[in-house]
Structure 1
């Protein structure tokens, strides 16, 4: 079964209608919210999922290019899964890097490396080609904050909590139906964590319109189409994601988002490692798209 079929089966067990499930799968992006803490303040019961800054622990044959700042290492096996699969593997480590200079998204300075489980890793003292150490980000521990959050493609502009989806009542009704029927249903919330794994990126700018009326129209067509053929959902959804963007490769989804201060020592924006849907579904992390918003 595909991840969408598994989620649909899970929701059906609690009586959630297929139409509601399709609308949720179409617009919702599952997220894991993570906090960063001073190592001295991490309690014995903290659920640690990785670290930010300091020296990276990485395989010997993985390059650490000079001019690239090591940002973070996520222990993916320590991150819980939720009912809606975010498509990120739960094995190995995800290493995040960024250029050491301030940048704009089109400069393409962000990169990621997925290290499979069982690959030997050791602490690296400095980037390849550097004769001595470089300035490092402050070492902080990543601690699980909320393992099951839903973000929404095309967030409305209002900031109130709980979120009111006045511009999309069908999606709002679908989410309410799920939350009323399924125990411990995820909270729908904008990213307010230091680190967000998946979810909907906070960069509103160019992408908000992509998930507007035309995207919702495709969703309602899919609602009808998958009533008798739920196996068609993934194909229809990926096609709509691609059509929603003017870019040839389709829109980019959030892989990981960090507070800017955890990437370049200072700043109050968000830095996003983004990934194309087909790369995410295939588990490829070597074509990261950079995002920044302040």
Structure 2
């Protein structure tokens, strides 16, 4: 879907609900690009990764089966220059997070970049370690809109007022989010307030801006009905340096 199609779909939905043009413009100014990776190529998705299975890691990367392997992304296959932050041009990005804890976790998340051509072998953890049977992931670009609780909204009083008064988040159908098992970039979606929200004052104090690198949701191992919502974040300066050892994150757990 092109940017214009996406924006016009949002604009048409908001207009039908009587939202004034100035409020619609406020919402669309906040739109951020996002790449969704899901299990089908419906709608022109490009094969760009794999969900589950076992990770292929270089020999110098320690991994004993935890945090759990979530997915890998083929950087060379992703749509080019879509996101508002840089990613490696080649190699694999591997995402790990806690897939077992119904209490959630604050630090059990990691990202590993395996450059193209680097020696790597599929790593088999100890017997009994849970994992998901692998399946392919197909990438599509889309636009991401914040929820009314996101830092991009609440940091400015007037934006917060307009966003909530006109229920602006309700006009984002976010179909690509429902189809995706892994999302790169954009805004965080979770059953609670978005994690790792920072205001401009926070950025000044700690000397950097957090960027939401990726997010995923999945059924927790051994906990039927429980869903884990994982996020991976980085300071922008670390991301621009491609230093994925600095990735941070955590998991929120939710039960319907």
Q: TM-score range by the shorter chain?
A: 0.5 to 0.7
Looking at structure 2, the residues matched to 71 and 150 of structure 1 have their Cα atoms a distance apart, in angstroms, of 22
Structure 1 residue 76 and structure 2 residue 75: aligned? Answer: yes
Structure 1 residue 242 and structure 2 residue 200: aligned? Answer: no
Within 5 Å, which residues of 2 pair with 1:228-239?
none
- Kept in 2: contact 1:252–1:276 (CA 8 A): yes
Q: 1:260 to 1:168 in 2, by over 3 A?
A: same
Q: 1:92 to 1:105 in 2, by over 3 A?
A: same
SS in 2 for 1:274: strand
Matched with 2:19 is none
Cα deviation digits, residues 94-117 of structure 1 (max 9, x gap) = 0112245415342x1111101112
- Kept in 1: contact 2:83–2:185 (CA 8 A): no
Looking at structure 1, the residues matched to 202 and 227 of structure 2 have their Cα atoms a distance apart, in angstroms, of 30
Work out which of the two has the higher radius of gyration on C-alpha atoms and give 1 or 2. Answer: 1
Q: 1:287 to 1:209 in 2, by over 3 A?
A: closer
Matched with 1:156 is 148
Ranges in structure 2 where 5+ consecutive residues have no aligned partner? 1-25, 150-158, 164-171
Looking at structure 1, the residues matched to 87 and 245 of structure 2 have their Cα atoms a distance apart, in angstroms, of 14
Matched with 2:193 is 205
How does the TM-score come out when normalised to structure 1?
A: 0.57
Structure 1 residue 61 and structure 2 residue 60: aligned? Answer: yes
When structure 1 is superposed on structure 2, of 197-206 and 272-281 the one drifting more is 197-206
Looking at structure 1, the residues matched to 55 and 63 of structure 2 have their Cα atoms a distance apart, in angstroms, of 9
Structure 1 residue 138 and structure 2 residue 170: aligned? Answer: no
Matched with 2:234 is 275
CA apart distance, 1:274: 1.7
Q: 1:194 to 1:84 in 2, by over 3 A?
A: closer
Looking at structure 2, the residues matched to 105 and 249 of structure 1 have their Cα atoms a distance apart, in angstroms, of 25
Structure 1 residue 33 and structure 2 residue 21: aligned? Answer: no
Q: Please report the RMSD computed on the Cα atoms of aligned residues, expressed in angstroms.
A: 3.8
- Equivalent position to 1:290, from 231, 238, 249: 249
Ranges in structure 1 where 5+ consecutive residues have no aligned partner? 1-22, 158-164, 170-186, 216-239
Matched with 1:253 is 211
Looking at structure 2, the residues matched to 83 and 46 of structure 1 have their Cα atoms a distance apart, in angstroms, of 14
Q: 1:28 to 1:73 in 2, by over 3 A?
A: same
Q: 1:78 to 1:30 in 2, by over 3 A?
A: same
CA apart distance, 1:189: 4.7
Cα deviation digits, residues 210-236 of structure 1 (max 9, x gap) = 45xxx5xxxxxxxxxxxxxxxxxxxxx
Looking at structure 2, the residues matched to 264 and 50 of structure 1 have their Cα atoms a distance apart, in angstroms, of 25
Matched with 1:88 is 87
Looking at structure 1, the residues matched to 236 and 229 of structure 2 have their Cα atoms a distance apart, in angstroms, of 21
- Kept in 2: contact 1:137–1:264 (CA 8 A): no
Looking at structure 2, the residues matched to 87 and 49 of structure 1 have their Cα atoms a distance apart, in angstroms, of 17
Looking at structure 1, the residues matched to 138 and 128 of structure 2 have their Cα atoms a distance apart, in angstroms, of 27
Higher helix share: 1
When structure 1 is superposed on structure 2, of 48-57 and 255-264 the one drifting more is 255-264
SS in 1 for 2:245: coil
